[in-house]
Structure 1
Amino acid sequence: MTESNAAPAGHRISVRVYYEDTDFSGVVYHASYLRFMERGRTELIRALGIEQRELFDGDQALGFAVRRMTIDFVRPAVMDDLLTVETRPTLARGATMELDQRILRGEEVLITAQVKVACVGGGKARRIPDVLRHRLGLEIV
C-alpha cells in the first residue's frame, strides 16, 4: 500500500510493512528502507506533475542515480506498521540534487537520511532540467 500527498516543504507517502519487507525476526530488513525511500523520491517527482517515464523517453532521456546516502537507523519498524516517508529537497547544484528523508511510525522517527542524486543521461551527468528545479522550489547554487 502506498498513498501520496503533498506536505509543506516536502512530500509524504504512506507505506505498509509486509512480510516480504522483514527479516527472520519480523523486523524490517535494512535494505527495505532503501526501497521505501526510493518510492518517496519517485512520488515527489510525480506529485510535481512530472512522470518519470517522460524523463526516460526520447532523445533527451535522463534519470536519477543515487550518488551518496547517509542513513541513521534510529528505531526498527515491524510487520504491519503503517509508515510515513517524508521527502524534502534541500539543494540543487548543476547535475546533482540533495534531499532529506525521514521514515516515521506515527510521530516517532525511525530513519533519517540525507541523499544526493545525480541527474544522468547517455551515460554522463546532465544538468537538472529547469522545469523540475523550479517545481521543486530549488535554486541552483
Structure 2
Amino acid sequence: MPERSRTAVVALSGATAVAVNLVIYGIGRAAGGSFRFTSATGPAEVYAITVAGFSLIPLLVGLTAVALLAPFAAWVVRAAFIIGPTLALGTILVMTAPANLDTTSKVALALCHLTLVPISIVAVRAIARRAQTIRTTRATTP
C-alpha cells in the first residue's frame, strides 16, 4: 500500500502543478501577455502545452526519484527539500528573466516557476512520511 500512495502523491502533485500553472498562464493571456520571445532560432512563443510540460516533466522526474529512493536513504528527502525549490527558483533566473518577454508574460511565467516550490515541498513531505513507514516496517520485521 505505501508504494501506491507514493505513486499517488507524485501523480497528484504533477496534476496540481499543471492545473495551477495553466490557470496562471490563462490569467497572463487574459491580462494581455503575448508569451512571445526571440530564441536562438528566431521568434518563438510559449504555449499552454509548453507550460504544462515544463510544469509536469521536471516535477515527475524529481518526485519519482525521491519516491523510489527515500525508503532506502533518508538523506534523499533532505536533499530534495533543497534541490527542488532551488531548481524551481533558479530556472526563473536562467530561463524566464533573460528572455525578451513582455512584462505580463515574464511575471506569469515566473509565477509558474514559483508554484513548483510549495507543491514540491508538500509532495516531498508526504513521500517522506510514507517512506518512513516503510523503513520502520523493515526495521521491525524479522
Give the TM-score normalised by the residue count of structure 2.
0.30
Higher-helix-fraction structure:
2
Q: Which has the larger radius of gyration?
A: 2
Q: Which has the higher contact order (CA 8 A, sep 6+)?
A: 2
